[in-house]
Chains A and B, each alone.
Chain A
């Protein structure tokens, strides 16, 4: 039997590893020793593998591991820490706690005065993340996947080859999964822009900022603004238009903007940063607000101790010397791939954020695995279907969405929309749910409310299967839940 990643026992209770006693987490138990493949053969000065993966994020690791399970000799090149960007929704949970704390009184808990200590959660989170890094490292070692530390760059050798720290590696199949990094404006566009941080820097903060300004209208901006505000930082969210999440369904976009404001986040609409200056008490942010039909107004926000840019992500494709092989990118540097993750160069593939499509961890993982099956199991039609990918935004309350939006479907639609109170005493948080049907088939579900994150997954299966309104009507509700509203829409 081939080694399988599930044989790594990580969180399992009460069992201590025989191979690595006392190490954290409790055990590293491997039931089936993988076949020992021996050291990789040398071809001149070039080390050769069956599969080379550049980037040790979720997508790259998943693909390398699946390839190794299928018998390929694989290596992962990583310049940083394993695990990539997918780490940090722990913070969201913390903020959720603060919401529950407000309700404690209603449920009979007395004298529950909550103050928040940022350091505690930061230490916990760092410990969790570094544990994950260790887990990844161990998983790769156990699966006999080589880890090559350093920056990878393509060479101009006739056979696709990469160079890492002066050494050359080659493989018939090379996957680029280097991910992306948050973008921030250039000093020439906004003087003082470098005084701000990005989402990467956010997770490095040592203290909870007392005055925060978040710039951006995407899901990262919304999530971070929600976290900071819920934890007690005075937070402003600066957006260029009048709503956040503009690529989402219009109902979600409108509702999420309102919910942010209800939660105490100051939403600065039609606003852009003009200049950032360092002062003795933090930074001073100058902005211009240009409401359509009115004259632009300049204002400043002083004493800001956290200015955070959340204005998009740039692909990590620059240092790879893609031009040596002529690998095509778009003008932002995203590698262009087809539906099978092929680049324009044979034997070179790309998955995840570096391609700029559906920047979600499970998408990268799924695409990476599908690719491994295609390359090493001869499953020629193995590819990820990018339609109907469910997405959750961990805003407060969370948003769940799958399928097409109203803007996309403006004609030929049949909307069942309703607004109601979730079964949750005295919080009066509105939950919004909307479904779109196209000739009675469900093509889109959009919702915001408590529990919508856990709610969506099952419905995504049904949407993918082509469920109809009749199927929803025929499904018995689970009472009392918030999700039953979706099968009782009338």
Chain B
């Protein structure tokens, strides 16, 4: 502990050199920058999961690397440290708050298991938030230490291109620095979108950038959106006992398997989350007592509705963080529609030595592990003599079809990358959705095996397991190659990972069935799938 603290002080000390003299010196070096004389072999813009992975890998290969990272405060003023969305305002705090909500369910189960717990057990947001934030801060610190250990220079500056090899960094106090590098990687990710056309949205609403850093409980909350971010946030808010409503315009979890998506929302609804379907908000007003009054239009009836909430959370998508980069100065092309950066299969932009990875790139799944893997592979190609490309289309390559360049995939699941949605009942998937499999191969060539099961741990407290469901989408022709796997139930993330590996290796239905089950677990239901949808038989699992 002490050694780590000392190391961190070392990091801090090293970067306190921010004097005009030194900055000027760097600027002098940068201005005359030509190949071989540039400051760095690699400059990474953005200290998120992808950028850090790329920087660390390059440093490990012996290169001189710098990372620049700067967090523009959210409109509510929330700010955070190094590590990007996942660490600070994404996966990590989300899963911890999801865990807090699951604990609430376990406390309700506890009396059935013999624990004498006085119900109801109140929840203290402040305490949870502090514990989660402390963990996040320890991760920020860990990233700083790791960069230091690998001799990667870290600059807490906001970056913009000056030319195709040079970047200007502006620090919080307005001081500037110029950095030049042979290779530049853009990994600035994205930020939540605000529906700017809705009156009061920006003034009174918050986003996922703020929810995890709230000092006080958000209280009665309206979550607007149908993405996994919206459902996950609504799920844990309901789970810790808050009155939560989700407003969605059309379908939940677009791009994911729709049968599974509707089971997810069905489960949430049965556990207290309210849903306003087919509705779009039109106005947010602050009432004299501080509450927010939201007006919306019900698109099916055409009628107007209103409700009051303590918090309105927008989860209506994310926008790439490219505006302040001055990409045009370097000649990096972006998509006119999405402002995301266009790259080829080697992650190279329209400028050959400038690359982009992660959420900022057009057509990539917005997932931490894909960015990490892309970053690492990129560094290995640049400096390690590797030629391995990131395979974004795990499953279709097995099924004989590749995505065409530039073909956009809006959500992760449709591209086959394994992922898990941490709604109260977790949904893990890998490979194709049933709809996608049918549209690629035709109804006649696809066989779907499925089962409704009851997790053992649900039996004693008499929990409803109506939505615990698993299905495996296969080709019908023997040996029945597995195209996709969808699992709804406890620990879905842990269940799915191993199967993702199997499916990546080209597993067939026959091979999965040859594997002995692990009893009693939920994951064994997958190797016991015997009922096909085509047979019309009841897929409810019985007995031991």
Contacts and interface: CB of A to CB of B under 8 A. Distances in A.
Contacts of B428: 478
A361 interface: yes
B240 interface: yes
Contact of B518 (A8, A105, A460, A484): A460
B343 to A, nearest CB: 18
Interface string A1-37: 0001111111111000000000000000101000000
A482 B493 CA distance: 8
A263 B306 CA distance: 53
B491 A451 contact: yes
Contacts of B11: none
Interface string B310-340: 0000000000000000000000000000000
Interface in B96-127: 96, 99-100, 103-104, 106-107, 109-118, 121-127
Q: How large is the interface on A (under 10, 10 to 19, 20 to 34, 35 or more residues)?
A: 35 or more
A58 B496 contact: no
A456 B516 CA distance: 11
B502 A465 contact: yes
Contact of B499 (A11, A108, A423, A461): A461
A175 B505 CA distance: 37
B373 A476 contact: yes
Contacts of A89: 456, 520
A124 B109 CA distance: 12
Contacts of A361: 519, 544
B527 A114 contact: no
A110 interface: yes
A101 B95 CA distance: 18
Interface stretch (A72-80, A131-139, A316-324): A131-139
A29 B114 contact: no
Interface in B361-386: 367-370, 372-373
B494 A360 contact: no
A136 B526 CA distance: 22
B393 to A, nearest CB: 11
Contacts of B124: 108-110
A254 interface: no
B464 interface: yes
Interface in A175-234: 231
A462 B496 CA distance: 12
Given A121-B114, A472-B501, A6 B537 contact: yes
Nearest to B392: A476
Contacts of A120: 111-114
30 contacts: A6-B538, A29-B538, A83-B544, A93-B456, A97-B106, A100-B106, A107-B103, A107-B131, A109-B104, A110-B122, A115-B117, A128-B459, A132-B544, A135-B542, A362-B524, A385-B514, A391-B518, A454-B490, A454-B495, A455-B495, A457-B524, A458-B501, A458-B502, A461-B498, A461-B499, A465-B502, A476-B418, A478-B496, A479-B86, A481-B494
Interface of A: 4-13, 29, 31, 58, 83, 86, 89-90, 93-94, 97-98, 100-101, 103-122, 124-125, 128, 132, 135-136, 139, 231, 360-363, 365-366, 384-385, 389-392, 400, 423-426, 451, 453-462, 464-467, 471-472, 474-484, 486-488
Given A117-B114, A483-B498, 12 more contacts: A94-B460, A100-B103, A103-B103, A116-B116, A136-B543, A361-B544, A362-B517, A462-B501, A465-B507, A474-B391, A478-B419, A481-B497
